[in-house]
Chain A
Amino acid sequence: GENVEQHPSTLSVQEGDSAVIKCTYSDSASNYFPWYKQELGKRPQLIIDIRSNVGEKKDQRIAVTLNKTAKHFSLHITETQPEDSAVYFCAASIMGRGSTLGRLYFGRGTQLTVWP
């Protein structure tokens, strides 16, 4: 089955700096890659996702890049703010015929701390 590795496990940055979290996956059939943010005691929330037919996607201060050849994808957060502090999870899935979404394989998470 799919294996998703995520690095680093912890990341501390100063407010206003950028943060980058990287993930690799093993199954070349994976074609859907969402990112989740989980604040302490809260549910994971989908913040951005990307499909394998695009290389980059942006949404305000967050962006995700995908390198299918190398089988890795990254989350980039610019102009970080203290409220960005949370655990971030990457995931991979195979989206089948008709865009049927399968189970997600999650990375182990990155604890991001943004210092004011």
Chain B
Amino acid sequence: DAKTTQPTSMDCAEGRAANLPCNHSTISGNEYVYWYRQIHSQGPQYIIHGLKNNETNEMASLIITEDRKSSTLILPHATLRDTAVYYCIKRSNFGNEKLTFGTGTRLTIIP
């Protein structure tokens, strides 16, 4: 089961939108895309998930391409507290609840 592919690191200016890409070309029909982030030394935190439609919550927006092979997490107005490692994970939404983490994208917000 191939993991997702993300850039190793990205920078974003404070106050701008941070767009984090993820490639999941091997995603199957029953797999969702989940995003978690891990702020330094803390446990990961759930951000958002989606299947095929775009999703938005109080933390972020998730844009999934029509073929579902890639997605983009958008933090609309990045703050310094958004500096973290962001993980894109594909998983089934039923049955076994395991998460398989890759190495993620280290996002640094620049003041």
Partners in one complex: no
Q: Which residues from chain B sit less than 8 Å from chain A, CB to CB?
A: none
